[in-house]
Chains A and B, each alone.
Chain A
Amino acid sequence: MRVIRQFEAMPIAPAARDVLVRLGAYRSEDASMFKRATRELSSLRPSGRYVCVPVRLEQDAVYLADRRVESRSLARYLAGCEAALVLAATLGPRVCKAIAQAFEQGRAEDAVWMDAAASVAVDAGLDFMLQQARVQLRKETGVLQSTRYSPGYGDCPITAQGDLFALVQAQQLGLSLSEGMMLMPEKSVLAVCGVQYAKEQR
């Protein structure tokens, strides 16, 4: 069974702190910065989709459904997993346009705020879907890995973006891939998360 789920306007709730971290303000306790970060995040609602595909492991490569990805680190990450979720999240073209526009109009401060918040929000979109999947899988006794994995991690080639893109059919979210395997619009992410099924209960 290959379940595909699509989400619009996910009600993400990332920590304002994450935005400050992106802006280099790791330890800031400035209330006005928290307020601004919260405000920036509040208007961002990513959309996304995920698909559950079977996994087959080789020494230095992984089959996600029928697609072979050569990567030792991805194989290590998926060790013990029978299946994996392939996920895509995006904020769509509007945010990227707004950021570019802010720069053009001499509102660089707004631009960097929006950029940092958007990066946090799109990641939170992935996490939202994972949390949803976690709850769903519990009844099917599947357990999701606690971390997720994206092309570019470890030795995983960026070309794997193409494989993930095709598996999750990211074009359904209005996304496309550049020649250099970059997702467009910019505030979009692809990821993999391994699923282990309980063999037997204790």
Chain B
Amino acid sequence: MQKNNVEQLLTQRTPVLLDGASGTQMIAAGMPAGVCPELWASEHEPLLAAMHRGYVEAGSQIVYAFTFGANPIKLREYGLEQRMEELNRRLVRVAKEAAGNRALVAGDMAPTGAFIAPMGPLSFEEVVEAYALQARALAEAGVDLFAVETMVDVQETRAAILGIRSVSDLPIFVTLSFDEAGRTLTGTDARTAALTLCGMGIQAVGANCGLGPAGMEPVIRAMHAVAEVPIIAKPNAGLPTGEVLPPEVFVQQMQALVQCGAQAIGGCCGTDPAYIALLRERVGHMATQGLCDSRPRAALTSREQTVYVGEGQPLCTIGERLNPTGKKKLQQALREGDDEYLLQMAYEQMDQGARVLDVNVGMNGIDEVQTLWQKVQFLAGRTAVPLCLDSANADALAQALRVYPGRALVNSVSAEHGKAEALFPLIARYGAMYIALPIGDDGVPETAQQRIALLQQILAKAAQYGIPRERCVVDALAMSVASQGDAAQQALGVIDYCHAHGLQTVMGVSNISFGLPARAQVNAALLLLARARGLSCAIVNVCEPTMHGAVAASDALLLGEEAVAAYALGYTQQEISQPEGLSGAVFAGERGRARALAQQLLQEGMDPQQVIAQSIAGLDQLGEQFAQKKAFLPQLMAGAEAAKEAFACVEPLLLGTDAQKLARVVIATVQGDIHDIGKNIVALMLRNHGFDVIDLGRDVKNERIVEAAKAYQAQIVVLSALLTTTMPRMGEVAQMLRAEGLGCTLMVGGAVVTPEYAEQIGALYSKDAAEAVEVAKAALHL
């Protein structure tokens, strides 16, 4: 077989044959465990050469040099960092000699083994640099392409691509390792990985290791459906179950992968030249699928998910609230580094259906470059939705784009002088989408026509940087209708044009209503008018009910049956009728209603004891449900808190009367044990059944428990322990209580405590908080 260049191979209508496992082969050849494989292989050149030759003879058109772990970070583990260049050079030479003119040689690059911040100790730039060093060594050694493989983290994969591209223009193949659920170790699904990486100037993307060929099918299918480049499949013959597929079965399953869209095929762990030879014989002449014609053009990704933009999709709502303009609390949070507050705002918007989050940190007295870089990394690590990076500062966007582990939306590129030149190189390098803002150096043009002219300038410049039109989302520019009477008409005109020319559109709708009353409905009206004419994205406050309703309802109307059902479900859940009365409010855990009803009943002259009885009736009802596993701990707690609200209304009226409490209880988690959730739950339940509970806390010395029992004249002492090592404290306390002649009842519970142990130490056992109430009542003959 003659050697072809990579491009020729990828455009042929039959599969490209890659090689199979190399580690497996070297172990079979005698490589011992625990050594640095790259070093050992370089010291056993004849064995390595034989391995490569085996694959070339079997028909591999591309073989991977044995440089998998030869990056400086991985080699550091073996103290071999200094020999990085030499090892790569030697290993590539052996592969090239074996390949001769029959096969191409790929420089194999793989995980560093450590994670990138904020997940691990390595900085992003440190990893980019490490890969750049290895890539330079590989390129100088004469590889024909790079194969970045077995990647488990999309961010590290990005670092590898950026590292390679900083030193070489050779083709890059990228394969990641997915689990049975179709995700990488750090949670990226196949479709999302393909979309994120394809935009970064690679020549093929796919999967290797992790799965067998059958298990890899959904992964290959998902990638093929979205990828802008050919697909690679290099599955294992050895399955996670320990089963090893024989060549016949492996090859049969590989045929299915080619039908699903794989263009370049080979094997990973457990395969050998026999598998590749059989692949060539049985699969080598099959027709490949080529690129998928119907792949979606516009999509954003986060580390964990893909959001499609455009026709047939829900409106892509971009939550606008992470923007400090006019928000004092957010400004403060940004200044003080209160990331939790940011997270809370992010979650509020996601809960209300925001599909993308806009992140803007521009404000006085803040280093925007540093802050955006930091917040984008933080939010990307904590939220599942893609981010829209919003800044007028090109440096801030550059830094944030570099570390964003997905396909971000850049907000925005205008036709102002120098903007395109500053931003398009970044957008091209990181594969981002961008909002085109048809504003020139003279400000915002009034008419749709003028805006379209500016848009065309922006698109022409994007094309110069190789950025396709589908990466563009056009801002239709909704200006204040109070100051420009036809503002809405002009914005809608831009949408009409874009819709007719296959461009996505976005609008920040709230500008339209500046200076008008009842702004929410004006905003919602514009959104719906625009949507009807093809608007695909909107920058909105999704937490505002009118807007939220307009988005949800229009999605339901436009997207068919499933969307209608989802819409209906969203509302039925809100409108479920709740049980009535005070007992009903307690049962449902509605604190506000419980308090209001208790107050109302008291005002109507109900006896305070009766009010208590009603709320306890609700708790008892809940306890029954709990016992039957129809209600669970959270509901029980919500009910208890609701009952507490009702008690709080009654309590002042009972002060000074002796009808106040059922009995006095001292409760504690025993010495040496710091677990207190169980104890807290029991305390709460007892309190709300009318007991006077004195909570001593956790890790409480035996002596203190006994002293408290004496001082408070407790009728019941309740002890909790979660460990076998701390449980004996219960027996000791039991003895001490008896020695002191205290006649109180001892109750015990906790993960390791058994009824037998309780009986042995003369205590009463209960399995959970609901039962503890029953046991306490029974002990007092109530």
Which A residues fall within an 8 A CB radius of B?
1, 3, 5-11, 13, 20, 23-28, 31-33, 36, 39, 42-43, 45, 82, 99-100, 103, 106-109, 111-113, 115-116, 128, 131-132, 135-136, 138-142, 152, 158, 178-182, 184, 186, 197-202
Q: Which residue of B lies closest to A179 (CB)?
A: B672
Interface assignment of B177: CB less than 8 Å from any CB of chain A: yes
Q: Are A45 and B381 in contact (CB under 8 A)?
A: yes
A108 and B684 in contact, given A3-B77, A180-B726, A198-B33 (Cβ under 8 angstroms): yes
Q: Are B343 and A43 in contact (CB under 8 A)?
A: yes
Q: Are A113 and B185 in contact (CB under 8 A)?
A: no
Chain B interface size band reads: 35 or more
* A-chain residues with CB within 8 Å of residue B82 when the two chains form the complex: none
A111 and B303 in contact, given A1-B78, A136-B113 (Cβ under 8 angstroms): no
Q: Are A5 and B381 in contact (CB under 8 A)?
A: no
User: Smallest distance from the beta carbon of A68 to chain B beta carbons, Å?
Assistant: 20
* B-chain residues with CB within 8 Å of residue A27 when the two chains form the complex: 629
A109 and B634 in contact, given A1-B34, A182-B672, A197-B34 (Cβ under 8 angstroms): yes
- Known: A36-B634, A128-B185; 19 extra A-B contacts, CB below 8 A, are A1-B77, A1-B78, A7-B119, A20-B632, A24-B768, A39-B347, A108-B684, A109-B589, A112-B677, A112-B681, A113-B634, A135-B185, A139-B150, A140-B34, A152-B723, A158-B723, A179-B672, A197-B34, A199-B33
Q: Are A142 and B33 in contact (CB under 8 A)?
A: yes
Q: Are B677 and A141 in contact (CB under 8 A)?
A: no
User: Smallest distance from the beta carbon of B91 to chain A beta carbons, Å?
Assistant: 14
A-B residue pairs, 4 tightest by C-beta: A180-B672, A197-B33, A108-B637, A109-B638
Q: Are B119 and A184 in contact (CB under 8 A)?
A: no
Q: Are B119 and A158 in contact (CB under 8 A)?
A: no
Selected contact of B674 from candidates A23, A106, A139, A184, CB within 8 Å: A184
User: Smallest distance from the beta carbon of B481 to chain A beta carbons, Å?
Assistant: 38
Interface assignment of B445: CB less than 8 Å from any CB of chain A: no
Interface assignment of B193: CB less than 8 Å from any CB of chain A: no
A106 and B150 in contact, given A31-B573, A113-B634 (Cβ under 8 angstroms): no
Q: Are B381 and A11 in contact (CB under 8 A)?
A: yes
Q: A45 to B185: give the CA distance in the assembly, Å.
A: 14
Interface assignment of B23: CB less than 8 Å from any CB of chain A: yes
A108 and B680 in contact, given A6-B121, A7-B120, A11-B381 (Cβ under 8 angstroms): yes
Query: How many pairs of residues, A versus B, come closer than 8 Å at their CB atoms?
Result: 158
User: Smallest distance from the beta carbon of A112 to chain B beta carbons, Å?
Assistant: 5
Q: A15 to B569: give the CA distance in the assembly, Å.
A: 23
Q: Are B677 and A178 in contact (CB under 8 A)?
A: no
Most buried by B among A115, A135, A138, A158: A135
Q: A199 to B27: give the CA distance in the assembly, Å.
A: 9
Q: Are A180 and B723 in contact (CB under 8 A)?
A: yes
Q: Which residue of A lies closest to B268 (CB)?
A: A138
Q: Which residue of A lies closest to B24 (CB)?
A: A201
* Sampled A-B contacts (23; CB under 8 Å): A10-B119, A11-B381, A13-B183, A23-B634, A24-B633, A28-B632, A31-B573, A36-B634, A39-B347, A45-B381, A103-B677, A106-B644, A109-B637, A109-B641, A111-B637, A111-B677, A135-B111, A139-B69, A152-B724, A158-B725, A179-B672, A186-B674, A186-B675
Q: Are B269 and A138 in contact (CB under 8 A)?
A: yes
Most buried by B among A11, A27, A178, A201: A11
A99 and B632 in contact, given A45-B381, A111-B637, A198-B33 (Cβ under 8 angstroms): no
Interface assignment of B425: CB less than 8 Å from any CB of chain A: no
Q: Are B28 and A200 in contact (CB under 8 A)?
A: yes
Selected contact of A99 from candidates B152, B637, B644, B677, CB within 8 Å: B677
Q: Which residues from 639 to 688 on chain B have a C-beta closer than 8 Å to any C-beta of chain A?
A: 640-641, 644, 671-677, 680-681, 684
Interface assignment of B68: CB less than 8 Å from any CB of chain A: yes
Q: A127 to B726: give the CA distance in the assembly, Å.
A: 28
Which B residues fall within an 8 A CB radius of A?
23-24, 27-28, 33-34, 37, 68-69, 77-78, 110-111, 113-115, 117-121, 150, 152, 177, 179, 183, 185-187, 209-210, 244, 269, 303-304, 343, 347, 351, 381-384, 573, 589, 629, 632-635, 637-638, 640-641, 644, 671-677, 680-681, 684, 699, 723-726, 768
* B-chain residues with CB within 8 Å of residue A9 when the two chains form the complex: 118-119, 381-382
Q: A90 to B158: give the CA distance in the assembly, Å.
A: 28
Q: A94 to B351: give the CA distance in the assembly, Å.
A: 23
Selected contact of B117 from candidates A8, A11, A136, CB within 8 Å: A8
Selected contact of B120 from candidates A6, A28, A115, CB within 8 Å: A6
Q: Which residue of B lies closest to A83 (CB)?
A: B34
* A-chain residues with CB within 8 Å of residue B23 when the two chains form the complex: 138-139, 141
User: Smallest distance from the beta carbon of B705 to chain A beta carbons, Å?
Assistant: 16
Q: Are B115 and A7 in contact (CB under 8 A)?
A: yes
User: Smallest distance from the beta carbon of B340 to chain A beta carbons, Å?
Assistant: 9
* B-chain residues with CB within 8 Å of residue A100 when the two chains form the complex: 676
Q: Are A11 and B672 in contact (CB under 8 A)?
A: no
Q: Are A8 and B723 in contact (CB under 8 A)?
A: no
Q: Which residue of B lies closest to A136 (CB)?
A: B113
Q: A136 to B382: give the CA distance in the assembly, Å.
A: 25
User: Smallest distance from the beta carbon of B338 to chain A beta carbons, Å?
Assistant: 12
User: Smallest distance from the beta carbon of B54 to chain A beta carbons, Å?
Assistant: 14
Q: Are B641 and A106 in contact (CB under 8 A)?
A: yes
Q: Are A108 and B640 in contact (CB under 8 A)?
A: yes
Q: A82 to B33: give the CA distance in the assembly, Å.
A: 11
User: Smallest distance from the beta carbon of A59 to chain B beta carbons, Å?
Assistant: 24
Q: A58 to B522: give the CA distance in the assembly, Å.
A: 78
Q: Which residue of A lies closest to B37 (CB)?
A: A139
Q: Are A132 and B185 in contact (CB under 8 A)?
A: yes
* A-chain residues with CB within 8 Å of residue B674 when the two chains form the complex: 178, 182, 184, 186
Q: Are A23 and B24 in contact (CB under 8 A)?
A: no
* B-chain residues with CB within 8 Å of residue A180 when the two chains form the complex: 671-673, 723, 725-726
